[in-house]
Structure 1
Amino acid sequence: MLSNSRSSQPVVLRSHYLSPSSSQIPASHITPRSACPETPIPFIVKKCIALLQICASSKFKLKQIHAFSIRHGVAPINPDMGKHLIYSIVSLSAPMTYAHSIFAQIQNPNVFTWNTMIRGYAESENPEPAIELYNRMHVNATEPDTHTYPFLLKAVSKVVNVRVGEGIHSIVVRNGFESLVFVQNSLVHMYAACGHYENAYKLFELMPERDIIAWNTVINGFALNGKPIEALTLYKEMGLEGVEPDGFTVVSLLSACAELDALALGRRVHTYIVKVGLNENMHVNNALLDLYAKCGNIMEAQKVFGEMEERNVVSWTSLIVGLAVNGFGTEALEHFGEMEKQQFVPSEITYVGVLYACSHCGMVNEGFNYFKRMKEKYGIVPRMEHYGCMVDLLGRAGLVKEAYEYIQNMPLQPNAVVWRTLLGACTIHGHLALGEVARVQLLQLEPKHCGDYVLISNLYASEQRWSDVHNVRKTMLTQGVRKAPGHSLVELGNCVHEFVMGDRTHPQSEAIYAMLVEISKKLKLEGYVPHTSNVLADIEEEEKANALFYHSEKIAIAFMLINTPSGTPIRVVKNLRVCADCHLAIKLISKVFNREIVVRDRSRFHHFRDGACSFMLWKKLVKQPRQPMCIRRSTALWTI
C-alpha cells in the first residue's frame, strides 16, 4: 500500500498568460468587459467553457480563452473553470506546469480534476508527480474512483516501480475494483512493463473477459521481456479464441519473430498485414523494417523503408542501425546523410547506429567527426553508449592504447561495458598488459560477469599462459561464476529448433553427425586448419580440434544442410559471440556447399557467401573458448 508520508503541499508555479487576439477567436464569441460591465460571472464561465469546447484543438486559443476569463473577473480558483481548463490543457498535451499552476489555486478539486492531473502526468515525460498526486488525494479526503487507477498504473509502468504497483494492486482489490476489465488490463500492463511477466500472465489467466487490449498487453509483455516463444504461443491461443489481431498485436508479434530470427513466420505476418490493410500503418512498417534487419535480410528492410508513405525518426534509425549491424556501414552513413537532408533530427539512438557503423568500417576520423557534430549541431549530450562506441571504434582499429587514454579522459565514470569493450579489444590485438588493467576494473564493477572471465581466459590462452587460465577458472569456481551455455536456433518449416554443443538428443542426430564428418572432410580439402587456440584447456591438438567441431552453430548448419534443398539460404541465431574457428569454418562451408549463411550472434550479423564474410574486420577475432559440454534437449520450440 502506498504511504501518505511522501505527500507534500503542491508547488505553486507561476502561470504566464497570453493576451487575447481578435484575429484568433471570432469577435462574435468575445464581448469586451467594458461593453458589458454587468455581465454575471456564471455567464462568463459558461461562455468560456463553451469556447474551450469549440477551440479544443489549439493551445494558443486555449490561453486566449484563459486570459479572456481573467479579464472578465473569473478567478482561477473557480472550480468549474479550473476543471475545464485543466482538462483542455491535458488533452492538448500542453506543459503540465501550466496545468499545475491552475490546479494549485483550486481549493477543493473534485475527483475528476484529480484524475485529469494524474492522467496528464502519467502521459508526460515526467510521470512521478502522478504518484505524488495520488498520495495527496488521501490527504485532501478525496476518494479515488475507478478511473483513477488506470492512469496511476500507467505512471507506475513508466517509472518501473513494481513495489508501488503492488501496493496499488492491493488497494484496487480492497476497494473492489479488480473485476473491472479496464483496471485488470492496466494491472497486466503494469506488471509486464516492470518486467514481472509471470504476474502479468497470472492476472491475464484469471480474467473472465479478455478483450483485444488484454491480449495485446500480455503478448507485448512477453515480447519485451525476452520471451518471444511465449508471445508467439499466446498469439496462437488468441486466434483459437476467435480474437482478431490489430496493429498493436502484429507489432508485438513481429518483435517476437525478430528476437527468434523466425523470418518465415515474419513473412507470413507480413502477408497478413497487407491482406488486412495494416501496411499503411507507420508503426507496423517500422516493426517490419526492424524484423527484416534483425533477421539479416537487409534488402527486404530497405524495400519496406522505400515503400513507406510516412516515416519518422524511428524509421530512419531502424534502417541505419540495421545496416550498421549487418556490416553495411557505408550504406548506413549514406542513409544518415539523406536523413539530415530531409530535415529529420537524429536521436541519441540514431547516433549510436552511426558510431557503430564507423566502428565496424574502421572509419576512425569520421567517427570522431560525427561525435563532434552530435554535440555541436544537435545538442545531444553524449551518454555512456556513445562513449562506449568511441572506445570500440579505437579498439577495433588496433589503437588499444588510445582507447585506454580515451577512457581515462571521459567526463563520465566508465561503466563495466566500457571496460569490457577495452578488454575485448585487448584480446583481439593481444595486448596483455592493458587487458589485465581492464580486468581489475571489471572485477570491482561486476565481479560475477562470466563473459569477463572468458575474455581474459582467451587472452591468457592466446599467450600460452595455461597456469593463468587455470587460475581464472579457479576464481570462477570460488566465486560461483558459471559460463552461459551456448545455443543456436534455426527455423525450419513451422518449427524453431535449438541446438547446444555436442548435442545428440535430436531425432536426426545420427544424420547430423554424419554430415559433420562430411563437412570436416571437405573443409580439409580446402586447407582448413582448426583454430585450436580457442580451446582453453591444455590438451592434445586432436582433442581440441574435435571439441571445436561440435559447437552449436556447426551442428545447426549441418541440420539445415540435410533438411533444405541445395542453394537455400541458412540462418542461425547464437546467444554467444561466434568464435574464430567457427567463423573460418562457416566461410568455407558457404563456399563448398554453395550456400548463403547468415549468423546472428550477440554482437553482430555475419553474412557468409562464396567463402567470404560481410564484415571486413574479422582478420583478428576475439578468441572464444570451446562451449561447455552440457547436453540439453534440442527441440521444436514453437510451431504453428
Structure 2
Amino acid sequence: MSNNRPPNTQSATTHRLHLSKTIIQLKQTHAFLLKTGTKPQCHLLLTQLLLRLLRFPGDNLSYAHHLFGQLPSCKNQYLWTSLIRSHVIHAQFSLSIRLYSKMQREGVLPSEFTFSSVLNACARIPAILEGKQVHGRVVKSSFFTNRIVQTALLDMYAKCGCLVDAQNLFDVMCDKDVVAWTAMICGYTKVGMMQKAMSLFDCMGERNVVTWTAMVAGYANSGDMKAAKELYDMMWVKNSITWVAMIAGYGKCGDVSEAKRVFDDIVAPDATCWAAMLACYAQNGYAREAIDMYMEMGNENVKITDVAMVGAISACTQLEDVEMAKRLTKNMEKGCCDRTLFLSNAFIHMHAKCGCMDQAWKEFNTMKERDVVSYGAMITALADNGETEEALNLFSKMQKEGIKPNQITFIGALSACSHAGLIEEGCKLFNLMTRVLGIKPLSQHLTCMVVLLGMTGQLKNAYNLIMEYKGVSDAGTWGALLGACKVHGNTQLGEIAASHLFEIEPQSAGNYVVLANTYASLDRWGDAERVRKMIGGRGNRKFPGCSWVSIIK
C-alpha cells in the first residue's frame, strides 16, 4: 500500500490543481500537498502549483514568492520567465529585474520572452544601465536577431530617452512591424522631436490607433494644437488616450472652449476623459465649472480618479469654498480614490486656504509619509494664519527629520518672520538658504527680507540686498521698500524705489500716491503736488488697495 502512495498523491494533487478556481482552493491544494506528498513530488507539484497561481488575475505575488522560496534549485525556464513577467504586469519592475539577475546566477538560460519581460521592466523604471547589461547578454545569446527581443530593446532605449541607440537598432532591423515603428515614433514624440517623428510616421506603412495617438499627443504636448487637430480629424478610430491628449493640450494653451468641444463630441467619455476636462477647467481658473463637473460626475456615477480629485481640490482652493472642502474630504474618507502623497498635500493647502486649520493639521498628522511639499504647505498655511511660532517649529522639525527645505519652504518660513517682525530669525533663515544651502532667492524671499529690514529702519541694507540680487526683484520688492521709505521718511531711497516701480507698473497710480504721501509727510507739498499731477497726466488708474506683503502669501 505504501508503495502506491506517491503516485496516488501526485494524481490526487494534480486533480485538485485542475479543479482549483480560486486562490483559497489553491492554498488548500498546497496544504494537501505538504501533508501527503514526498519531497521529490513536492518540488514537481509545487512548480505546477506556482504556474497555476500565476495564471490567476489579481496581485498574488507575495504568495507566489512564498511558493517559489520552497523550490531552492529550480531550473524551470518557463517558471522563471512567468514569475518575472507577473512582476512586470503588477508594476513590480525592480523586483522583476532582481529575479532576472537571480535567474542568471542560478544558471538558468533566458528565453526571448524572459528578455522581452525584463527589458520592459527596465523601460518602465527607467533603468538604462540594467537595460544595457541585458542588451550585452542578448548579444552573447542566440536571440539578438529575434524580432521580439529587438523590439523590446528598441522600446527600452526609446523610453529611456537614448534615441541614438534606439535609432541604430531600428535601422538594422530587417523585419520591422507596427510595434517597432510605433516604439520609435513614441520615443521621438516623448522628447518633443516632432519633425523626426512625423518623418517616420509618413514612411510608415501600417498604422494603428497607438501610432496615431502618439503623434496627436506629441503635438498636443508641444503646444502645436493646429497640427494635433489635423491628425485628430483624420483618425477613423479614437480612444480615451487620444481624447485626453487633445483636452489636455487645449488646456495647456488656455483654450477651454475647444477642450470642451472635444469632450462634448465623445459619445461615452470614461473617467479619464472626465478628469481631464475637470483638470482643464481648474488649471485655467474656471473653478466653478470644475466643481460643477465634479458634482456631475457623482450624479453620473463616474469613478473619481486621483486626477479628478486634484482638479476638484484646486478649484475648491481657488473659491475658498468651505462647504465644498468638507464634501471633498468626506468623499475622500469614503475611499473614492487612493489617498496619494500628492493628494494629501493638496488637501492641506485647500483646508488652509479655506481657513480650516484644524482640518489642515489633521491631514498633516495622519499622513504616513511626508515630503518637503507637505511641510512647505503646512508651514505656509501657519504663516498665512499668523501662527509664527508653530510655523518656525515645524520648519525646525522638518530639518531634524532630514528633509531638505526648498524655495517654497523658505517662502513660508520667511513670511512667518515678516508677519511677526522677527528680524534676527529672518536673517538667519535667509543666510541658511543662500549661503549654506546655495538656494537662489526668488522675489518673494527678497520681499520678505525688505519688509523685515524696513520694520527696523534698515533701509540701506534693504536696498543693498535688492541690488545684490538685481534681476530677481519685482514690483512687490520695490513696493515693500517704497512703503518702508514712507514710514521712515526716506525720500532719497523712496524716489529710487518709485522710479523702478514706474517702469515696472507704469499704469498703477498707487505707486505715485505712496511717493506723494511720503513727500507730504515731510511737508514737501510742492513735490507731493508734482507727483499727484503725474497720475492724471500719464493716464494712470488707481487699483483697489492692497498690502505689498500680500504677494508673498
Q: Is the 8 A contact 1:279 1:285 kept in 2?
A: no
Counterpart check, 1:366 vs 2:435? no
Which structure: larger Rg? 2
Corresponding residue of 1:205: 264
2:136 aligned to 64, 67, 83, which one? 67
One-letter amino acid of the structure 1 residue matched with residue 546 of structure 2: R
Find the aligned partners of 2:455 and 2:344 in 1 and give their Cα distance.
34
Find the aligned partners of 1:225 and 1:351 in 2 and give their Cα distance.
27
Q: Which has the larger displacement, 228-237 or 453-462?
A: 453-462
Mark the CA change 1:26 to 1:131 in structure 2 (over 3 Å): closer, same or farther: same
2:104 aligned to 20, 26, 35, which one? 26
Mark the CA change 1:365 to 1:237 in structure 2 (over 3 Å): closer, same or farther: same
Q: Which has the larger displacement, 216-225 or 146-155?
A: 146-155
Aligned-residue offset at 1:319: 0.7
Q: Is the 8 A contact 1:324 1:357 kept in 2?
A: yes
Find the aligned partners of 1:120 and 1:377 in 2 and give their Cα distance.
40
Counterpart check, 1:298 vs 2:376? no
**Structure 2 gap ranges (5+):** 1-97
Counterpart check, 1:227 vs 2:286? yes
Aligned-residue offset at 1:326: 1.9
One-letter amino acid of the structure 2 residue matched with residue 577 of structure 1: C
Find the aligned partners of 1:110 and 1:429 in 2 and give their Cα distance.
76
Q: Is the 8 A contact 1:358 1:366 kept in 2?
A: yes
Counterpart check, 1:253 vs 2:312? yes
Q: Is the 8 A contact 1:153 1:190 kept in 2?
A: no
Counterpart check, 1:101 vs 2:165? yes
Where do 1:139-178 residues align within 5 Å? Answer: 146-148=209-211, 150-151=213-214, 161=223, 164-173=224-233, 175-176=234-235
TM-score by length of 2: 0.68
Find the aligned partners of 2:539 and 2:353 in 1 and give their Cα distance.
34
Aligned-residue offset at 1:399: 2.2
Q: Is the 8 A contact 2:154 2:169 kept in 1?
A: no
Q: Secondary structure at the match of 2:232?
A: helix
Where do 1:587-606 residues align within 5 Å? Answer: 602-603=550-551
Find the aligned partners of 1:117 and 1:427 in 2 and give their Cα distance.
63
One-letter amino acid of the structure 1 residue matched with residue 329 of structure 2: H
Aligned-residue offset at 1:81: 4.1
Mark the CA change 1:23 to 1:81 in structure 2 (over 3 Å): closer, same or farther: closer
Q: Kindly indicate whether structure 1 or structure 2 has the higher relative contact order, using CA contacts under 8 Å at least 6 residues apart.
A: 1
Corresponding residue of 2:546: 577
Find the aligned partners of 2:299 and 2:338 in 1 and give their Cα distance.
24
Find the aligned partners of 2:237 and 2:457 in 1 and give their Cα distance.
59
Select the structure that is richer in helix: 2
Where do 1:3-14 residues align within 5 Å? Answer: none
Aligned-residue offset at 1:306: 0.4
Q: Is the 8 A contact 1:157 1:194 kept in 2?
A: no
Mark the CA change 1:207 to 1:369 in structure 2 (over 3 Å): closer, same or farther: same
Aligned residues: 451
Where do 1:425-444 residues align within 5 Å? Answer: 425-444=484-503
One-letter amino acid of the structure 1 residue matched with residue 153 of structure 2: L
Find the aligned partners of 1:158 and 1:304 in 2 and give their Cα distance.
34
Aligned-residue offset at 1:305: 0.3
Where do 1:394-413 residues align within 5 Å? Answer: 394-410=453-469, 412=471
Q: CA RMSD in A?
A: 4.0
1:327 aligned to 370, 376, 386, which one? 386
Q: Is the 8 A contact 2:157 2:165 kept in 1?
A: no
Mark the CA change 1:384 to 1:71 in structure 2 (over 3 Å): closer, same or farther: farther
Find the aligned partners of 1:342 and 1:352 in 2 and give their Cα distance.
20
Mark the CA change 1:156 to 1:481 in structure 2 (over 3 Å): closer, same or farther: farther
Corresponding residue of 1:14: none
Q: Secondary structure at the match of 1:106?
A: helix
Q: Is the 8 A contact 1:280 1:309 kept in 2?
A: no
Select the structure that is richer in strand: 1
Where do 1:447-486 residues align within 5 Å? Answer: 447-449=506-508, 452-453=511-512, 455-456=514-515, 459=518, 475=534, 479-484=538-543, 486=544
Mark the CA change 1:215 to 1:83 in structure 2 (over 3 Å): closer, same or farther: same
Corresponding residue of 2:374: 315
Mark the CA change 1:409 to 1:73 in structure 2 (over 3 Å): closer, same or farther: farther
Corresponding residue of 2:153: 85
